[in-house]
Amino acid sequence: MQPILLSADTKSADYSFVNIYAWAEYYHLQAAGIGDRVATRFCGDGRAVYAFPVGSGPLKPAMDAILQDAAERGETALITGVTEEMEREIAALYPDEYTAVPYPEGFDYLYSTEKLASLAGKKLHGKRNHIHKFEAAHPDWSFAPLTQADIPDCRALARKWLEALEGDKTQAEAETRAMELCFRDFEALDMVGGVLRVGGETVGFTMASPISADTLDVHFEKADGNMEGAYTMVNREFARFIRETKPHILWLNREDDMGLENLRRAKRSYYPEIILQKSALLWKRE
């Protein structure tokens, strides 16, 4: 699947192989190759939901296969994760056959690697203050690429993060299971990450993978919430690491906010250059 997904050259996190792989069990996801495209089907609200069939081959055979599959299930097709560019392709083939509904909770936040690495400008003054406070309080901090040997410490930190959460943990527990798959198969999935340490102790980490020629999808980022500036440090240092080691990566996709107000504020506080809008397309009944 990975070569087909990468050939689509989309910046949307919905079409990251790592996301499809790690969340397959949670969403009861299935995938099919249709020519040089990949179609995925998952369970949502008691019905089948499809993703846009990405790839480089002809679109119509893949779309027709989705519409036929939905009809055989006795359902109207619902296709999600459709960017504006994708919808233009669909509209050219199926004009007036569907209703498009934007879903802001699924919009991706994209930032230039350079911006997150430098945190330059007045708008990010507060982020730089967090950095200065962290560096002053913890002069023995270090940041290094994440390796297989670091995973036990990262797993322990993720467990502490989960235990500290209050209220409904359903989504967080699902994320932890997805993270565990990525820990287990970190090298096989060709992921890249970084680890923040203070006095040799792991206090933060991040994990990402490529979704296009110039974009990385940041899947997970965890840090010690009691340590001021730890999250900001992980974010900046990872961007600097990518800038240095992968200069072709111009964008970091930090995924969506799931409709959570605190997460939306956190993502917008870094002033994304691109908010990648998406729609769900519901086919009209015949």
Q: Which two tokens stand for residue 132?
A: 């200065």
Q: How far apart (Å, rounded) are the C-alpha atoms in residues 11 and 214?
A: 9
Instruction: Report the pLDDT value the prediction gives residue 74, as an integer from 0 to 100.
Output: 93
Whether pLDDT at 285 is above 90: no
Give me the long-range contacts of 93-99 (CB less than 8 A, separation at least 24).
93/59, 93/60, 93/63, 94/63, 97/283, 97/284, 98/281, 98/282, 98/283, 98/284, 99/281, 99/282, 99/284
What is the pLDDT averaged over residues 189-209? 97
Give yes or no for residue 213 having a pLDDT over 80. Answer: yes
Q: Write down the pTM of the prediction.
A: 0.94
Dump pLDDT digits (tens) for 80-113.
999 999 999 999 999 999 999 999 999 999 999 9
Give alpha helix (H) positions in the chain.
2-7, 17-22, 24-27, 59-72, 84-93, 113-118, 125-137, 151-164, 170-184, 230-245, 261-268
pLDDT digits (tens, 9 = 90+) for 132-150: 999 999 999 999 999 999 9
What percent of the chain clears pLDDT 70, i.e. is strictly above it?
A: 100
- Give the residue-averaged pLDDT of 63-84: 95
Q: Give residue 286's pLDDT.
A: 61
User: What are 5-15's pLDDT values in tens digits?
Assistant: 999 999 999 99
What digits encode the pLDDT tens for the residues 219-268? Answer: 999 999 999 999 999 999 999 999 999 999 999 999 999 888 999 999 99
Q: How far is CA 111 from CA 15, 23, 158, 211, in A?
A: 18, 24, 25, 14
Q: Nearest to residue 50, comparing CAs of 80, 84, 74?
A: 80
Residue 45 has pLDDT above 80, yes or no: no
Burial level of 68, CB count in 10 A (0-12/13-18/19+)? exposed
At 52, which amino acid appears?
A: F
Q: State residue 260's pLDDT score.
A: 86
- Categorize the per-residue pLDDT at 182 as very low, low, confident or very high, splitting at 50, 70 and 90: very high
Mean pLDDT of 24-29: 93
Question: What domains appear along the chain, each with residue ranges and CATH number?
Answer: 2-107+277-283 (3.40.630.30), 108-255 (3.40.630.30)
Alpha-carbon gap, residue 6 to 16, rounded angstroms: 8
The candidate with the shortest Cα–Cα distance to 81, out of 239, 264, 273, 211, is: 211
Per-residue DSSP letter, 284: P
What is the predicted pLDDT for the residue at 228? 94
Residue 14 buriedness (CB in 10 A; 0-12 / 13-18 / 19+)? buried
